[in-house]
Every structure is written in structure tokens, then in C-alpha cells.
Amino acid sequence: MANPMMQAAEFMQAMQNELHKNLTRWSNWMSDFIVSPAEPPMAQTPRDLVWKRGKIQLYRYPSQAAQRQPLPYVMVPWLGISRPYILDMLPGHSMIEYLVQQGHEVYLLDWGVIAEEDKNLGLEDIVFKILPRAIDTILALSQAPALNLNGFCLGGVITNGYLSLHPDAPVRNYIAIVTPVDFEQGGLLKTWLGHAAFPTDLLVRQYGGIPTSLMGMGFKMLRPTGDAASLSGLWFNMNKKDYIPIYKAMDRWANDFVGMPGRFFSQIQHELYAQNKMLKGELMLQGRRVNLRNIQQPMFVAAASKDHIVPPLAAKGLLGAVGSQDKQFMELPGGHISVFAGRQAHTMLWPALHAWVVERSAV
Amino acid sequence: MSPQASPNNFTEFWQDFLRQSRSFWSHAATAPQPPDPSHAWQQFVTMWTAFWPKAFTLSPDTIQTAQKLWMDQLETISQGFAKVMGTDTFAAMQGKFFEQQLSWQDHLTKTTQPQTDAALRALNLPSRNQMDRLFERVVNIEERLDDLETDTRLIRRALRHGNDAAPVADPPPARARNHKAPEGEGAESSCMTR
């Protein structure tokens, strides 16, 4: 048995250290949350607005490396729910910054702040009009023969639809990150949105879509202890000065919800969550069947092991449904967002993605 | 004023709504419980009972252990919630509750709409519907402009191919040449903000 005196001394030392940490925590809290509560500036990677349609904006982030990658890298984020600036969160913690530093010319399609006037925006408009035009613009600007296409979350549903309905699309490689495809495996969202009692039509009729407040409430409900866990994490790490700006940035983004167009939500709820039509090959857009087998590009699929929005099995379903021969699946530790924007993404997902794309991008 | 909006009808609706809510909640409370709801609670108690003996051993790891335990507890509670909220019963209850709320709001909006519109007219202010229609028109105009730009590019390409056998790369779209990048987030025009 250990010497009780030694144990007591060690305990006192630990208490003293903890007291010191607590003083630092209070001091940092005063300085960073009371005296200067401003959030750190986000989305700092230099960019140009190169195309605009309504609220939809296409940004170009020029390559920052001496050796430029031959094909542009196009990011299609989720439509509605939240803003895509998490992809360029803070200098040193930004996926876009990482890619441009590796020589990629990155393009980001920002859907803007969705509101009631966008209620008629549906998958058809995006798949047949908006995305093809954005891609035309990118090819004209970059003078490249093809591009690398990266869909995130529901943005992946859009890119899946686009590639299935445009088998001749100028896309060399396809990357789907936390993209739901097998909606039967969609976790809590499948249980709620897939249930016949969910009043989608009434909601769309009344609000024209999902309003911001409801979107926020829905996502908070998915993880009711999320805010408590996040605040606890902040307190435990408050003594580390470099933790605070990342917390502030993440917290701002995590509470900056946007709505979703009624028509798009209706399609996602009725056709995908309730009936899983995309995976079954039954989804019709403008009278044409979305056949995932038409996707022939080399494919990289990433999922997060603790994703409560798109569980790994929901994302993995894409691999078996497409016609691609060259397929890679990566299940990484982390949650829905942290897998591509968290601290570990810098050492795990981004380098793997860069290496995979470079290997397949020779012109 | 429409018959729906008369004060008597409104009171009746409100009473009816309360009646429906009461019956809904009593039904919800007596609904079959999700499988083993006590499981999460048992885990919670077990963790705490395991913690206290440890906390009093004067170990230097006590603080770390307490922090880890707290986070584990939050995770357990979250899983407990997920288990209950992941049932069909909950989904049905949530859907019904949500539908009731929406019906109530719909009715309230319809009832108060004439007064709101009259007040806005008196103040010489546009209503939400008028603003929405205006925004829709702006979006439509932008879309038509974009369509025109695309058509112009196609025509120019066709003309070039007609005059010259060798295809020439398209110039960048007009907006790419004319627009400067906005500074940071929130650079959209005021009509695009929430």
C-alpha cells in the first residue's frame, strides 16, 4: 500500500496546481470574455467573388504555393442549416487555407442566407442549372480541362444528383465528406423526419421552408447536452490561451443557423429520409432517374465515427451504389463537423485528401 | 373582419386548443414507454457511486478523474436522450405536437393578419408579404440576368466557332471581371440578411 503521507503530499501538490490553473482560467475569462469579448475574425483566406446568382455566390481562393495543382478543387457545402465559413474558420485551422497552401485553387459555392423568398429553390434547380453553370464558370476561369468535386453533408447529396444526371460532367475526382446516402441508417434524423407524423407540408406552407429558429432548435435537440459539454470543455481548457479563439469561432458558427428552402426540405424529407429513394435508384428529377451507378469517377468517401447527424453507415452506403472502380473509404474519429474542421483534421483528413487528389490529378 | 377572426370564435378556438393540448399530453404521459428507460439512469448512478470512493482517496488524479467523469456523464445523459428520442413513440408524439403548434400559429396569423396589415398601412410600412414578393422579384431578375449572360456566352462561342475553326477558350464571366471580393463574412446586401 502506498505511503499515506506521500499520497497526501501529492494530493496537496495537485490541488495547488489546480488552484493555479483556476486562477489562470478566471484571468483568461476576464480578459477574453468580459474585457474583450470580440470573436476572432473568420474566413481570412484571400478570395475573389467570381460568380453570383441570386444569393448564391461562388468564391475563388487562389493557390498560395509555388507549384500549382493542375485541377481546381470545388467545394459544394450543405444547403441551408449553417454557413460554410467553417471551411475557412481561422488561420491555421482552415481546410481551405490548407488546400491553397498545398497548391490547390479552391472554389467554394456559398448558398447565402436562405429565407422565405427562396422557398421554391429545389434539387432540380441546383442540379440542372446552378451547379452546371458554376462549373462552367470555374472551367472558364481556371482554363482546366476538368475539376475535383467535393460535396459536404447535404452538398454531397446535390453532387451525387449532379454526377448521376451528368455522366459526362467534367469532374476528374469526386470526394464526399459526411454525405448521407443510405438514409435508412440516418440515426435520429431518420426517426424524426422519416416518420409519417412529421408535418412537412404544413411547415413549408406556413414558413416557406425551415426558419432559422426551428433549424437551431432541431439541431440542438439532436444533442441536448451539446452546449453543456462545450461549456465544460471551455472551462477545463480555459487556462490554455490558444484554445479560446478556436472555441469562440466554433461557438459562433455553431449558433449561426440559416433556414432551408421549403422545396428542397420537402424533397429531402419526403424522397430521402422517408423513402430512401436516391439509394434505391427511384429518385426522379425533372422526369429523369437519379442513378448513382452513373458515377464513374474515382471516389473518396469520409465519415466520422461519432457523427450523430450522418452516422458512418449512412455515408458508407455510397460506396456500394456507385459505378466507380477506384473507391476509398475513411472513417475518422470525431463528429460531423470536427472530422473536417476540428483540431485533428489538420493531421488526418486534409493530408490524406490532398495526397489522394494529387495522385489522381495529372493532366 | 372574417367570421374566423371574431372574438367569440377566437376564444372558442383557444379553449379548443387548450382542450386538445391537455388530451395530447395526458395521452403522451400514458403512452407505452420506450424500451428500458431506467438504463441511462442506472448508468448515471453507478458512475457517481464509483466516483465518490475514488474522490476520497486523496489521489493527485482526482481532478482529472472528476473532469473525465463529468464529460462521461454528459455523454451518458446524451445517449439516454437519444435512446428515448430515437423511438417511434417519440417521433409520433413530436410530429403531432409540432402539427398542433403549426395549426395554432397558422390560425393566429390568419386572425391577426388584417389588424397587422392595417397597422402597417397606417404607418406607411411594407408588410412581410410585400417584402417577400419584392425579394422574390429581385431573385427572379438576377436569375434572368444570369440566364441572359449564359445565353450571350453560348452565342459568342457559336459565333467564334463559325468564324474560326479552332475553338477558343471563353473569357471569364462578366461578374468575375467586374466584381471585387467582399470583405469577410456578411458582405451580402441588406436584403439578404435575416
Q: Do B135 and A117 touch (CB under 8 A)?
A: yes
Q: Say if residue B59's pLDDT is above 70.
A: no
Mean pLDDT (chain A, rounded): 94
Sheet holding A56-61, edge to edge: A48-53, A56-61, A106-110, A73-76, A147-152, A171-177, A299-304, A327-332
Closest CA of chain A from B15, distance in Å = 22
Cell digits for A38?
A: 470580440
**Would you tell me which CATH number, out of the four given (3.40.50.1860, 3.40.50.300, 3.60.21.10, 3.40.50.1820), belongs to the domain A48-359?**
3.40.50.1820
Q: B17 in a domain, yes or no? A: no
Q: List pLDDT tens digits, range B167-185.
A: 444 555 544 443 443 333 3
The pLDDT of residue B58 is: 53
Residues 18-77, chain B: which have Cβ within 8 Å of A?
Answer: 57-63, 67, 70-71, 74-75, 77
Total domain count for chain B?
3
The pLDDT of residue A230 is: 92
Could you list the residue range(s) of the whole structural domain that residue B149 is in? 128-164
The pLDDT of residue B47 is: 64
Does B136 lie in the same domain as B117? no
A311 CA to centre of own chain: 14
Please report which confidence band the pLDDT of residue B8 belongs to, taking 50, 70 and 90 as the band edges: low
% of chain B with per-residue pLDDT over 90: 18
Residues 100-139, chain B: which have Cβ within 8 Å of A?
Answer: 102-103, 105-106, 109, 132, 135-136, 139
Residue from the list B98, B171, B179 with its beta carbon closest to the beta carbon of A49:
B179
Contacts of B148 in chain A (CB under 8 A): none
Does B107 lie in the same domain as B120? yes
Q: List pLDDT tens digits, range B17-56.
A: 566 666 655 665 555 555 555 665 666 667 666 666 655 5
Strand partners, A289: A284
Q: Which residue has the higher pLDDT, B79 or A165?
A: A165
Cβ-Cβ contacts under 8 Å for A69 (sequence gap 6 or more): A63, A102, A103, A104, A105, A357, A358, A361
Q: Do B194 and A113 touch (CB under 8 A)?
A: yes
Q: B110-139 as b/e, with b when 16 or more CB fall inside 10 Å? A: ebeeeeeeeeeeeeeeeeeeeebeebeebb
The pLDDT of residue B146 is: 81
Closest CA of chain A from B112, distance in Å = 15
Residue from the list A51, A83, A118 with its beta carbon closest to the beta carbon of B173:
A51
Q: Say if residue B4's pLDDT is above 50.
A: no
Does B132 lie in the same domain as B120? no
Q: B102 in a domain, yes or no? A: yes
Q: Does the CA dihedral A46-A52-A58-A62 come out positive or negative?
A: negative
Give the pLDDT mean for B75-99: 90
The pLDDT of residue A74 is: 98
Q: B103 in a domain, yes or no? A: yes
Please report which confidence band the pLDDT of residue A362 belongs to, taking 50, 70 and 90 as the band edges: confident
Q: Do A49 and B92 touch (CB under 8 A)?
A: no
Mean pLDDT (chain B, rounded): 71
**What residue segments make up the domains of chain A, in order of their start?**
48-359
Q: B51 in a domain, yes or no? A: yes
Residue holding cell 448558398? A111
Q: Which residue has the higher pLDDT, B21 or B110?
A: B110
Rg (CA), chain B: 31
CA distance A31 to B178: 43
Closest CA of chain B from A346, distance in Å = 23
Does B63 lie in the same domain as B50? yes
CA distance A63 to A71: 11
% of chain A with per-residue pLDDT over 70: 99
Cβ-Cβ contacts under 8 Å for A37 (sequence gap 6 or more): none
Q: Do A49 and B180 touch (CB under 8 A)?
A: yes
The pLDDT of residue B80 is: 86
Q: A311-349 as b/e, with b when 16 or more CB fall inside 10 Å? A: bbbbbbbbeebbebeeeeebbbebbbbbbbbbeebeebb
Lowest mean pLDDT segment, chosen from A14-23, A104-113, A235-244, B177-186:
B177-186
Closest CA of chain B from A188, distance in Å = 5
Q: B109 in a domain, yes or no? A: yes
B158 CA to centre of own chain: 45
Residue from the list A11, A197, A224 with its beta carbon closest to the beta carbon of B78:
A224
Cβ–Cβ under 8 Å, residues A291 and A164: yes
% of chain B with per-residue pLDDT over 70: 52
Give the pLDDT mean for A226-247: 93
The pLDDT of residue A151 is: 98
Give the pLDDT mean for A171-178: 98
Q: Which of A126, A191, A201 should be substituted to probe chain B, the one whose Cβ sees the most B Cβ atoms within 10 Å?
A: A191
Q: What angle do CA A349, A350, A353 make, to 5 degrees?
A: 85
Backbone angles phi, psi at A332, to 5 degrees: -110, 155
Q: Say if residue A165's pLDDT is above 90.
A: yes
Give the pLDDT mean for A90-110: 97
Q: List pLDDT tens digits, range A258-311.
A: 999 999 999 999 999 999 999 999 999 999 999 999 999 999 999 999 999 999
Closest by CA to B75, choosing from B33, B32, B43, is: B43
Please report which confidence band the pLDDT of residue A14 belongs to, taking 50, 70 and 90 as the band edges: confident
Q: Do B60 and A11 touch (CB under 8 A)?
A: yes
